[in-house]
Amino acid sequence: MMKLLLSEYAGFCFGVKRAVDLLEKQIQKGDKRIFMLGHLIHNDDFLRDMEKRGVKCIEESELEQLNPETDLVILRTHGVKAEMEQHVKDLGLPYLDTACPYVKKIHNIVKTEQETDDPQFIIIGDKNHPEVEGIVSRIEKRDNDLVLVCKDAEELEKKTAILAKTSKRRWIILAQTTQNIAEWKKCLKKLKKLYTNLTIFDTICYVTEKRQCEAASIARMSDMMVVIGGKASSNTNKLAEITSEYCPTLLIENESELKTHSLKPNMTVGITAGASTPDRIIEEVLKTMSEMKNVEEGMSFQEMLDHSFRTLVTGERVTGVITSILPNEIHVDLGIKHTGILPADEVADDSNIDLHELFKVGDDVTVMVQKFNDAEGTVQVSKKKVDNYQNWDKVVEASESSTVLKAKVQETNKSGVVVSWKGVRIFIPASQSGLPKEASLNELMGKEISFIIISLDPSRRRVVGSIRAVIRAERKAKQEKFWNEIEVAKQYTGVVKSITAYGAFVDLGGVDGMVHITELSWKRIKHPTDVLNVGDEVTVFVKEFNPETHRISLGYKTEDENPWVILPGKYNVGDTAEVKIVGLTSFGAFAELIPGVDGLIHISQLSDRNVNNVAEVVRVGDVVNVKITDINYETKKVSLSIRALLHSEDTAVEDTAVEDTAVEDTAVEDTAVDDTAVDDTAVEDTAVDDTSMDDTAMDDTEATTVE
């Protein structure tokens, strides 16, 4: 039995279908006479059909015979020369440009590249084909400019000498949209050996490429190939050239040319069709072949045809094959005539991912159909949405187990923020953001946050998450750990959270403690802000705590800074010190001995005279000298005296006067001694008499005492 293999890419490509559909709409309007400037597509059957419907094909020379009021010009699918298009415009004729988007893309490349530095062009294609003529016509010729058109690698080889002379120029390499893929690759290989300054644009139509690759694959498995299409069609002829390398090939325009006698039993016959071949002709050929009795049973020809022409609908999931990877998108073969375009931001949440690291050409990828673009023959697809559905079960599981999830914030609005976890969109209300009411939700934009799912609506596929719940759970865990490990005197590093008139509250990591104002400094302070500010990182220690009331008293000042510990190393009782008056009372003045230690100068010690009012002697801010008269470390009191210093000065003056008198007395005594020495002899002579006198005197004295 005969086995038939039908190409999925047989028939109109999207560019031809677009042109035919545009023409059909104009025919249906019926408000103007329609003229095709050149053959709309290269298929005689189609052109004859159009002729019967009143659509006439004309040459450029006939344009001036048309009437702008009643006639419409159709510019063909392959594009027209630039001067021809300009001629239509100059005549004021209404026209409809049906040029294939791939052809228009080449026109734009040519225009853009000519705006850069001194480009030269090489076009791989048929120089006599309308498409190539249209491209060449849009390249402005300047001095020393060179535009080469080579149909294949062999012709390119012959022009090597010309190319070598201009090897230092920058070359732009383009391909006719229907160019043979194998020849294109051969040409590129040759050019890369000649040049280092190449800019290559692979402008071969994607569908053409797939059609050629599939035709070659079918031909390898077939005993014979049937190629359906116009003999003037470039892409149809290239299909026949490709398949003929693998098996005998029959090129036909319609079913009338089908040579059924050449088809033998037990043969495998491959069937494909060019991009300009109408579906009607393919159906007629298939119908003719289906009437043969020696065809292998299985899929009917109608089923094969339907499969070949199958389409997809929006929202449908389909597995395709990656055909190319660009920096910002992936091209996917979906098995239809539209090229699947998978943008980077439809691959994953992070649009900055490197697509080349995640995918390779030839990989299978399951995507969801989103939006068709018939004008360009593409369909936008999304992998992210497929992942969304596949990961829904994981979201449900995470919701049931209260699993903490992580994702980056992608959107913000007045109501909350939006994240995407494994392709599933999750909304987090502002009340669950974990931010204070006055804070802006924009603070979370682009940040990775932790959250749990608190609400799930499977019917509407709505998911609500909470950052606040995670923060609360983390705080609770920290608190439990904290109260299990807290000890008196244990040190913590925390952040000042708030300040009141009586102290500062410090966040110790989910638990707050308070440092009373008296514990902030050894010095006298008026307010806690004299020492700390909100946001300061501080080291504190536990003074006491109550696990039941969750109250913690903290210490901040340390013994190293205790002025009563520092004082003994600086002053002792009896020392003189320069002090500053810091306060006045009715009974004396307080003065700062060292920071944190004040001494009292009693009113009686302010002066060596009576003082009724302390302010008569000193004022706050005065610096005076005092004597330390007493230090009591137990009661932490110091007594100071100004008067003691004044008395010391008076004593010093008196001592000086006494010393002066003693010196004078000594001088007198010295003189007396000297005088006595002169009369020593006389004294000796009268010594006896003096003794007698003394005795008599003694007796008188004794008698007087008795009385």
The span from the CA of 302 to the CA of 677, in Å, is 171
DSSP annotation string for 487-511: -TT-EEEEEEEEEETTEEEEESSS-
The span from the CA of 254 to the CA of 287, in Å, is 11
| CB of 481 closer than 8 Å to CB of 511 | no
The span from the CA of 457 to the CA of 477, in Å, is 30
State which amino acid sits at residue 527. H
Query: Known catalytic residue: 131?
Result: yes
Helix count (H) and strand count (E) of the chain?
19, 32
Total residues belonging to the chain? 707
Residue 435, C-beta contacts closer than 8 angstroms, at least 6 positions apart: 441, 443, 444
| CB of 159 closer than 8 Å to CB of 148 | yes
CA angle 349, 355, 356 (to 5 degrees): 160
The span from the CA of 479 to the CA of 258, in Å, is 87
Q: What is the CA radius of gyration of the chain?
A: 55
| CB of 96 closer than 8 Å to CB of 74 | yes
* Bridge-based pairing state of the strands 416-421 and 405-412: antiparallel
Q: List the one residue out of 482, 495, 631 whose CA is nearest residue 564.
A: 631
Q: List the one residue out of 497, 490, 500 whose CA is nearest residue 537.
A: 497
Residue 596, C-beta contacts closer than 8 angstroms, at least 6 positions apart: 521, 522, 523, 562, 563, 564, 566
Q: List the one residue out of 113, 172, 177, 137 whose CA is nearest residue 376.
A: 177
The one catalytic residue in 8, 113, 131, 592 is 131
Cite the DSSP H helix spans in 601-679: 643-678
The span from the CA of 618 to the CA of 640, in Å, is 14
Query: What residues pair up with 426 in beta bridges, in sequence order?
Result: 419
Would the CA dihedral through 670, 674, 677, 683 be positive or negative?
Answer: negative
State which amino acid sits at residue 268. T
| CB of 262 closer than 8 Å to CB of 307 | no
Residue 71, C-beta contacts closer than 8 angstroms, at least 6 positions apart: 32, 33, 34, 35, 93, 94
Tokens matching residue 385: 């949405």
CA angle 367, 273, 219 (to 5 degrees): 85
Tokens matching residue 694: 């003394």
The span from the CA of 535 to the CA of 223, in Å, is 84
Tokens matching residue 59: 């040459």
| CB of 15 closer than 8 Å to CB of 377 | yes
Backbone φ and ψ for 323, nearest 5 degrees, come out as: -105, -25
| CB of 629 closer than 8 Å to CB of 639 | yes
| CB of 581 closer than 8 Å to CB of 622 | yes
The span from the CA of 384 to the CA of 330, in Å, is 13
Which of the residues are catalytic? 131
